[in-house]
Amino acid sequence: MEIVYHGHSCVEIRTGGKSLVIDPFLRGNPIAVTKPEDIKAEYILLTHGHVDHILDAEPIAKANDSTVVAIVELASYMSGKELKTIGMNMGGTVDMGFAKAKMIQAFHSSGITLEDGTIIYGGMPAGFIIEAEGITVLHAGDTALFSDMKMIGERHKIDVAFIPIGDHFTMGPDDALQAAEWYGAQLVVPVHYNSFPPIRQDAENFVRRLEEQDQEGMVLAPGESFEITAG
């Protein structure tokens, strides 16, 4: 399995000759090095309706005939753009053939802002647990710290966890350290930071603090990738 970090919260998982991308936000991210037309994905997973998580879902889906997977309200909105969608809800699992994605809770907000400034309900925010090739990847979505993270970690053997550290709009580094401990991930990758001034953080320092609590962390620059195998 190859995992690519495209900046902000955008993560691509390539496995079995296929690909899925989570929260594509490339055109609006000043530190992104990837363009929407560079992404080739069969599935697009969306954690919630904020523009910095859905901006490039439509062009990627139309270019690749991708299927968008999201909570039912957000999936309905995307289907209105003539995209293929799968609507789901908390605790449910979607089988994509080459991978399975379970929707888990996140504590955040979710609204879709239209061009005229109108905000429509985007359903509940979420995270995903993705399983493929015997590997379990958790994408926490945009979230605050909440105690059920411990339960999620106890019920799933998480190999890689993508956790927001930016503060202001999500939890900051201190709470993210607690989330990492509760998830019990073998490897933690910080996301949702440095894209904009309010969420500037020192990711290298976060990883050092992870090591102090006996967890491995990895800082990825936009466009960087790594490979992981089961076992």
* Overall size of the chain counted in residues: 231
Other CB atoms within 10 Å distance of the CB of residue 16:
12
Q: Nearest to residue 10, comparing CAs of 36, 122, 131, 159?
A: 36
Task: Provide block-wise average pLDDT over 10 residues at a time, the chain (231 residues).
Answer: 98 97 98 98 98 98 98 98 98 98 98 95 98 98 98 98 98 98 98 98 98 98 97 77
> What is the predicted pLDDT for the residue at 88?
98
Distance CA 134, CA 144 (A): 28
Specify whether the CB–CB gap between 179 and 163 falls below 8 A: yes
Q: Which CATH architecture has domain 2-224?
A: 4-Layer Sandwich (3.60)
> What is the predicted pLDDT for the residue at 231?
77
Q: How would you class 212 by CB atoms within 10 Å of its CB: exposed for 0-12, middle for 13-18, buried for 19 or more?
A: exposed
Q: Nearest to residue 130, comparing CAs of 19, 227, 6?
A: 19
Q: Nearest to residue 104, comparing CAs of 119, 94, 114, 112?
A: 94
Q: Nearest to residue 179, comparing CAs of 163, 191, 168?
A: 163
Kindly list the domain boundaries of the chain, sorted by start residue: 2-224
Q: Nearest to residue 67, comparing CAs of 48, 88, 49?
A: 88
Other CB atoms within 10 Å distance of the CB of residue 26:
23
Tokens of 141: 């979505």
Q: Nearest to residue 161, comparing CAs of 222, 118, 119, 218?
A: 218
Q: What is the pTM of this model?
A: 0.98
